[in-house]
Amino acid sequence: MADASPTAPAARSDRRPEAAIVIPLYNEATVIGGVISELLQHFERVICVDDGSTDDSAEVAEAAGARVIRHPHNLGQGAALQTGIAYARVQPGVRYLVTFDADGQHRVVDALAMLDLAEHEQAAIIFGSRFLDDRTKPGLAKKIVLKTAVAVTNLTTGLTLTDAHNGLRVLRVDAAHAVNLKQDRMAHASEIVVQLGKSGLPWREFPVEVLYTDYSKAKGQSLLNSINILVDLVIN
Amino acid sequence: MWFQIILIVALAGIAVYLVRSTPSPRHLAIRRLLVLLALAAGVVAVLWPGLLSWLAALVGIGRGADLLFYLAIVAGLIYVVNEYKRSVQLTRANTQLAREIALTEARLTDRITELEERLAAKPSA
């Protein structure tokens, strides 16, 4: 990676060169450093899109060795994800994109396993799902929000997913080119499924564990925000 | 009551407009025509106040002032919906602009780093 900072770990042969990690980043200075360090042990390219953080998230991410792209001001997670995808999908040597959350709720082993699955099954899209097994334990309110999101997404996309708003996904480059998110805020999670579904490319779901720490719980989606998601999806 | 039907149809029309329509020059022309018509109707109503009451009675409303009130609400709603759509469009344009700035900067720094590395490697080569 041309822009690796001096503090980045030395290049290791077992790091995956064909996949780029894409992380939308907004005010996660306390956790993002750890997330990136762990990812860099397994991946060569970690791309962070700093969405106008008001803390020093961008500096921390850069110091940890990520390629940081900065939005001039806060636009929303969907906008940051789209910027990251647009950048990553044209990087030479990149064949897969992995979207990853900044708050440390995803497990790197899941991302690696999803990449292997995409490779072995020639699938262009792997959706992470926390509902395929019972490792993940969301609270009741969260379960209602997430299950409603799944129902609405399935209704509008024709795909039958078990989890809609999961930030961990693997996109082959051709699938990444089918993505053009217009929803700047949380509704992008449904929009990306719609666009990927329309691409007609082969997809799979993969059971992942979502780690609900006190930190990620405090930042999570509220019941009321699901109303925003619904309205954003219906009205353009 | 005729006006109830007219009012419900108007409100439903606004709801459809909110969810469905995409901006086009045709819509702009229609909006401008409507504004002109409303202005002309206003002048007429001022010159012949009796007309309003006559029209109100015709569609089943007691007073002309009530008719004016209902019409004002419908006009206000149309305005709100229009402004909402416009603000969504502006937000999208703003996002695209911001993204282009971010990506241009990223491409530029990538290129500079690449050139710097090549320059640094040259003497030893």
| Domain range summary for chain A, segments of one domain joined by + | 16-234
Three-state SS at B12: helix
Q: How far is CA B87 from the centre of its chain?
A: 8
Architecture category of domain A16-234 in CATH:
Alpha-Beta Complex (3.90)
Q: Which of A49-53, A181-185, B11-15, B75-79 has the highest mean pLDDT?
A: A49-53
Pairing between β-strand A67-70 and β-strand A43-50 as defined by DSSP bridges: parallel
pLDDT confidence of residue A190: 82
Domain-by-domain residue ranges, chain B?
A: 2-121
Shortest Cα distance from B53 to chain A (angstroms)?
A: 38
CA A190 to chain centre: 13
Statement: residue A209 has pLDDT above 80:
yes
* pLDDT confidence bin for A1, thresholds 50/70/90: very low
Provide the number of CB pairs (under 8 Å) joining chain A to chain B: 48
Beta-carbon separation of A79 and B99 below 8 A: yes
Q: What is the mean pLDDT of residues A211-216?
A: 73
Asked whether residue B121 carries a pLDDT value surpassing 60, the answer given is yes
Cβ of A2 within 8 Å of Cβ of B102? The answer is: no
Rounded to whole angstroms, how far apart are CA atoms A118 and A113? Answer: 9
Q: Residue A230 contacts by C-beta under 8 Å, 6 or more apart in sequence?
A: A152
Whether residue A71 and residue B102 make contact (CB cut-off 8 A), yes or no, is yes
> Which tops the pLDDT comparison, A1 or A74?
A74
How wide is the angle at C-alpha A203 spanned by C-alphas A200 and A209, nearest 5°? 150
Nearest to A2 among B92, B105, B117 (CB): B117
Among A2, A67, A75, whose Cβ lies nearest the Cβ of B95?
A75
Lowest mean pLDDT among A13-22, A68-77, A142-151, A192-201: A142-151
Q: Which two tokens stand for residue B99?
A: 């993204």
Of B18, B106, B113, the CB nearest to A235: B18
Chain A residues with CB under 8 Å of a chain B CB are 2-3, 49, 67, 69-73, 75-76, 79, 82-83, 86-87, 182, 184, 234-236
Instruction: For residue A80, give the nearest of B113, B98, B67, B104 by alpha carbon.
Output: B98
Q: Are A58 and A68 in contact (CB under 8 A)?
A: yes
B85: nearest CA in chain A? A236
Alpha-carbon torsion A86, A88, A93, A98, what sign? negative
Quick one: average pLDDT of A127-147?
80
Does the ipTM surpass 0.85? no
Rounded CA gap, A175 and B116, in Å?
A: 33
What pLDDT score does A13 carry?
58
Q: Which of A45, A46, A69, A231 to mutate to test the interface with B (most CBs of B within 10 A)?
A: A69
**Separation CA B73–CA B79 (nearest Å):** 10
